[in-house]
Chains A and B, each alone.
Chain A
């Protein structure tokens, strides 16, 4: 019924792979594009990580050590942009590319050529962004949030920053449209919406967020561009505008962006915890509704990033209560994961360790988030190391650990070989310990008043800063283990079975490891028994 049609008018046979550089440059294959996304993400993770190392080296002691303040500020700014847009988002899209067609029983993504363009934009967009380091005036140094009027003072790099953001936005929107079209239109017969694996669900909702939020960011930076070059006055009070307007528009994008980053990670651990607890996910439907609620609410909380900017009281109160409301669906998810493990036959392979790490440490980051959601209290925490501790807890052990757990979980499926479990466990324990040494003391120095984005500090913060820096270097080094595990796993090892894990369910585990070049040329029939639950 369907075997020959994929290569209708060519003579190549079913599992023929294109060869050479063209296989990658011109690819229309979701697995190859997914691999490119993941490799790119790993490279950017180390580039952004190197910038973090510069920051921690400079902050190891008070006073100026290695870099001048302008460059330090470029490091904090570009570290954030690289990690958010270059490491975490592409990792999520890479996993989506690899897994969604296999999980829903599709031959590929809905629009394979557009999929290729979504990926290839990324390296070029980051070339635009990183080239600013070599320009007059240096790289962006006004913070990744690009607040005017500070960002408008950037030198020749300014239009390159703006266009890099536009470029990345184009990539994200095309990627999101593709994922929605794929899930809506390419599901195998019987794969109803409420049978979708949770990872697919979280990605549809993420894709909605991307399509709604990224254009708003494009609008915000476009207004920056015209303010700088065409004499408009959007963000200049002297012309009737308001710099705070930028913050509103930016965070209208920025808060949904937070969930764009985290929801795929939630989806990943919702796949992993049931596998290693050998129990179906507790409260599947409530997980779906909780994810959708989080996404919906994320559009009504943006100004909690701006409590100290001087908003009217009604605004402060509204955004405080709306923020508190998000804790409810998030709590539903945390309790569901915990209940999934309750009385399960648990084993603790590396993916499960990382997933449990997410559960504990994301929740910790969530708690400090609740603290800052309380408007009067936030007046003390705002722009201190407390917020740095908060968002790094949710981003690193919350999101990056989630992505890493997904990589360990599905890597045997991708390569056909089991990874080295001993090295995996070593990677987990070194990362989990060092990440806490790195970020936990930031709460203390933040509460004590150390401001963020400053290259020097008062001497009473020295001890904790040294400990933080040591934790930072240890965390950075620990990630080299991941690279070693991945390379080793690609080169060989114990053969992985189709199912890979004893308790694994889902269509991706019905395919061979590694799967054929085109996943499901004949759509499988999905029934309640073969669906995830």
Chain B
């Protein structure tokens, strides 16, 4: 509530929202045209993404400028906190849709296709040779169509106690390093703040690198692709969106690192740091869910 020393900051009219809207509009048009098979679409998509980057850098440099000039009081800070918290919650629900799909497929629809419960007729009449197992290496279609199948069989899935375990350790460590950076910031110790942040960014990008290596391995050696039935679908959807979020989070951390090196933030006032740290922890927790339900059990 407005009991702070000065009034709430209401920004002047700004061009960034409409620039952002147009950038997203162009991106969506380009993406849709590309998916429809137009080569020109890829060009528009690239332009749109560049425009999004331009919007973010412009909008955030305005915000950083306002923050440094002291326009934001405690109450504005609380608005940002509510905003970031609920944004992260919306992301949780976005992942919930994909986890829900995974559970539905593993617990209900694959066993039904295998003839369990009410699904016995589907199994008997459509795919009598299909056996429900998880990981699902062969699809119902494969049991009928053989080599002509739309969904190719998987040779092997990624074992949990291999690179994914290393990635788990990397991400969990990055959660520790970002917390150490935060402690350093709260004690106003600039050098450890930057070093721990740099370590976090590095761990994040190494994670992404291993993830890409894993994808290459899956595609080239294991025949585990997006086209290998519902195992591949859930695997790449969940890990792919997570990987995208790690990339975003690591980029945000990089921006925070640069700002820390420039001397931004104080021991008491550093919401941007905290917001990004929250986001990073969220990405971390999602990974634990992924590791358990996609790779391990």
In the complex, identify which listed stretch (A22-30, A341-349, A429-437, A448-456) lies at the interface while the others stay far away.
Answer: A22-30
Among A10, A211, A521, the most chain B Cβ lie within 10 Å of the Cβ of: A211
| B98 CB–A CB distance under 8 Å | yes
Are the CB atoms of A25 and B18 closer together than 8 Å?
Answer: yes
| A252 CA / B93 CA spacing, docked (Å) | 11
Are the CB atoms of A234 and B94 closer together than 8 Å?
Answer: no
Are the CB atoms of B101 and A249 closer together than 8 Å?
Answer: yes
Residues of A within 8 A of B6 (CB): 1-2, 5
> Which residue of A has the minimal Cβ distance to B231?
A240
| B245 CB–A CB distance under 8 Å | no
What are 29 A-to-B residue pairs whose CB atoms are below 8 Å?
A26-B14, A28-B11, A106-B8, A107-B7, A107-B8, A113-B16, A113-B17, A163-B32, A167-B24, A170-B24, A181-B86, A185-B1, A188-B1, A212-B89, A218-B94, A219-B97, A223-B101, A232-B237, A233-B229, A233-B233, A237-B126, A238-B139, A239-B141, A240-B136, A241-B109, A241-B230, A241-B233, A242-B109, A310-B118
Are the CB atoms of A156 and B231 closer together than 8 Å?
Answer: no
Residues of A within 8 A of B24 (CB): 121, 124, 167, 170
| B209 CB–A CB distance under 8 Å | no
A124 with B12, Cβ < 8 A, contacts A212-B93, A239-B233, A310-B118 known: no
> Which residue of B has the minimal Cβ distance to A240?
B230
| B91 CB–A CB distance under 8 Å | yes
Are the CB atoms of B28 and A22 closer together than 8 Å?
Answer: no
| A212 CA / B16 CA spacing, docked (Å) | 27
Beta-carbon contacts of A9-47 to B below 8 Å, as 1s and 0s? Answer: 010000000100011011110000000000000000000
| A214 CA / B87 CA spacing, docked (Å) | 12
Residues of B within 8 A of A84 (CB): none
| A177 CA / B3 CA spacing, docked (Å) | 23
Which residues from chain A sit less than 8 Å from chain B, CB to CB?
1-2, 5-8, 10, 18, 22-23, 25-28, 106-108, 110-114, 116-117, 120-121, 124, 127-128, 156, 159-160, 162-164, 166-167, 170, 173, 176-178, 180-182, 184-189, 191, 211-216, 218-220, 222-223, 225-227, 229-234, 237-242, 244-245, 248-249, 252, 310, 312, 518, 521-523
> Which residue of B has the minimal Cβ distance to A232?
B233
| A170 CA / B89 CA spacing, docked (Å) | 14
Q: How far is the CB of A14 from chain B (nearest CB, A)?
A: 12
In the complex, identify which listed stretch (B76-84, B160-168, B193-201, B212-220) lies at the interface while the others stay far away.
Answer: B76-84
Are the CB atoms of B226 and A231 closer together than 8 Å?
Answer: yes
Are the CB atoms of A187 and B109 closer together than 8 Å?
Answer: no
Could you say which of B7, B32, B91, B141 contacts A2, with CB atoms under 8 Å apart?
B7
Are the CB atoms of B3 and A189 closer together than 8 Å?
Answer: yes
Are the CB atoms of A180 and B86 closer together than 8 Å?
Answer: yes
Are the CB atoms of B97 and A177 closer together than 8 Å?
Answer: no
Known: A121-B24, A237-B140. 18 other contacts (CB 8 A): A1-B7, A10-B12, A26-B18, A107-B8, A116-B17, A117-B20, A120-B21, A128-B29, A167-B25, A181-B79, A215-B91, A216-B96, A218-B97, A233-B139, A233-B151, A237-B126, A239-B229, A242-B113
Among A106, A241, A518, the most chain B Cβ lie within 10 Å of the Cβ of: A241
Which range holds the interface residue count of chain B? 35 or more
Beta-carbon contacts of B261-283 to A below 8 Å, as 1s and 0s? Answer: 00000000000000000000000
Are the CB atoms of B78 and A185 closer together than 8 Å?
Answer: yes
| B90 CB–A CB distance under 8 Å | yes
| B71 CB–A CB distance under 8 Å | yes
Residues of B within 8 A of A116 (CB): 14, 17-18
> Which residue of A has the minimal Cβ distance to B82?
A181
| B110 CB–A CB distance under 8 Å | yes
Residues of A within 8 A of B35 (CB): 159, 225, 229
| A23 CA / B12 CA spacing, docked (Å) | 10
| A76 CA / B29 CA spacing, docked (Å) | 24
Residues of B within 8 A of A211 (CB): 86, 89-90, 93
Which residues from chain B sit less than 8 Å from chain A, CB to CB?
1-3, 6-18, 20-22, 24-25, 28-29, 31-32, 35-36, 59, 71, 75, 78-79, 82-83, 86-87, 89-91, 93-98, 100-101, 104-105, 108-110, 112-113, 117-118, 122, 126, 136, 139-141, 150-151, 225-227, 229-234, 236-237
Are the CB atoms of A239 and B140 closer together than 8 Å?
Answer: yes
Q: How far is the CB of B189 from chain A (nearest CB, A)?
A: 31
Residues of A within 8 A of B226 (CB): 226, 230-232
Closest 7 CB pairs of A and B: A219-B97, A240-B230, A2-B7, A232-B233, A117-B17, A231-B227, A26-B13
Could you say which of B7, B15, B94, B136 contacts A215, with CB atoms under 8 Å apart?
B94
Residues of A within 8 A of B20 (CB): 117
A245 with B105, Cβ < 8 A, contacts A159-B31, A238-B150 known: yes
Q: How far is the CB of B46 from chain A (nearest CB, A)?
A: 16
A215 with B150, Cβ < 8 A, contacts A5-B7, A166-B28, A239-B229 known: no
| A475 CA / B112 CA spacing, docked (Å) | 48
| A160 CA / B30 CA spacing, docked (Å) | 10
Q: How far is the CB of B20 from chain A (nearest CB, A)?
A: 6
Q: How far is the CB of B232 from chain A (nearest CB, A)?
A: 7
Residues of B within 8 A of A22 (CB): 13
